[in-house]
Amino acid sequence: MAHLLMVESWVGSMSRLLPRAIRESGHEFTFLTRDLHHYLRAAPEGTAHPLLAARHVLTADTNDTDSLLSLVERLHTTLGFDGVITSCDYYLPTVARIAGRLGLPGPSAEAVESACRKDATRRVLEAAGVAGPRYAVCADWARTAEAARHIGYPLVVKPVDLCAGMYVRRVDDEGGLLDAFRALADFPVNARGQRRSPVVLLEELLDGPEFSVETVSFGGAAEVVGVTDKSVGGAPAFIETGHMFPAALAPEDAEAVCETALLALKALGLDGVVAHTEIKLTTAGPRVVEVNPRPAGNRITELVRHVTGVDLAAAFVDVALGKRPDLRRRDTGLRSAAIGFLVPDTAGTLVSIEGGDAVWEEPDVLEVRLAEPGEHVKAAGSNNEYLGHIMAADTEGAGARDRVEALLAGLRPRVVIA
Q: What is the pLDDT of residues 369-381, one digit of tens each?
A: 999 999 999 988 9
**Cα 335 to the chain's mean position, in Å?**
24
**Spatial contact of 275 and 292, defined as CB atoms under 8 Å apart:** yes
Neighbours of 284 (CB within 10 A): 11
What is the side-by-side strand order in the sheet with 412-416? 376-377, 348-354, 412-416
Nearest to 294 by CA among 310, 313, 311, 308: 313
**Spatial contact of 18 and 85, defined as CB atoms under 8 Å apart:** yes
How far, in Å, CA of 118 to CA of 167, rounded? 13
Domains and CATH numbers, the chain: 2-104 (3.40.50.20), 134-204 (3.30.1490.20), 206-332 (3.30.470.20), 336-417 (3.30.470.20)
Nearest to 144 by CA among 156, 162, 132, 131: 156
How far, in Å, CA of 124 to CA of 264, rounded? 9
DSSP state letters, 290-315:
EEESS--STTHHHHHHHHH---HHHH
Could you list the pLDDT tens digit for every one of the 418 residues in the chain?
Answer: 999 999 999 888 888 899 999 999 999 999 999 999 888 876 665 667 888 889 999 999 999 999 999 999 999 999 999 999 999 999 999 999 999 999 999 999 999 999 999 999 999 999 999 999 999 999 999 999 999 999 999 999 999 999 999 999 999 999 999 999 999 999 999 999 999 999 999 999 999 999 999 999 999 999 999 999 999 999 999 999 999 999 999 999 999 999 999 999 999 999 999 999 999 999 999 999 999 999 999 999 999 999 999 999 999 999 999 999 999 999 999 999 999 999 998 999 999 999 988 898 899 999 999 999 999 999 889 999 999 999 999 999 999 999 999 999 999 999 998 6
β 376-377/348-354 pair status: antiparallel
How far, in Å, CA of 120 to CA of 89, rounded? 15
Q: Which long-range contacts (CB under 8 A, 24 or more apart) does 366-371 make?
A: 366/302, 366/306, 366/337, 366/391, 366/392, 366/393, 367/299, 367/302, 367/339, 367/391, 370/342, 370/411, 371/342
DSSP 8-state class, residue 115: H
How far, in Å, CA of 167 to CA of 187, rounded? 9
Q: pLDDT above 70 covers what percent of the chain?
A: 98
Helix, strand and coil percent figures for the chain, each rounded to 5: 35, 30, 40
- Please, what's the b/e burial string for 219-253 (b: 16 or more CB within 10 A of its CB; e: otherwise)? eeebebbbbbbbbeebebbbbbbbbbbbbebeeeb
Cβ within 8 Å of residue 400, ≥6 positions away: 244, 336, 337, 338, 392, 393, 394
How far, in Å, CA of 214 to CA of 228, rounded? 8
Number of H helices, E strands in the chain: 13, 19
How far, in Å, CA of 237 to CA of 171, rounded? 10
Q: State whether residue 180 is helix, strand or coil.
A: helix
β 388-394/336-341 pair status: antiparallel
In the beta sheet, which residues pair with residue 330? none
Write the CA distances from 278 to 189, 213, 236, 367, integer angstroms: 25, 6, 19, 24
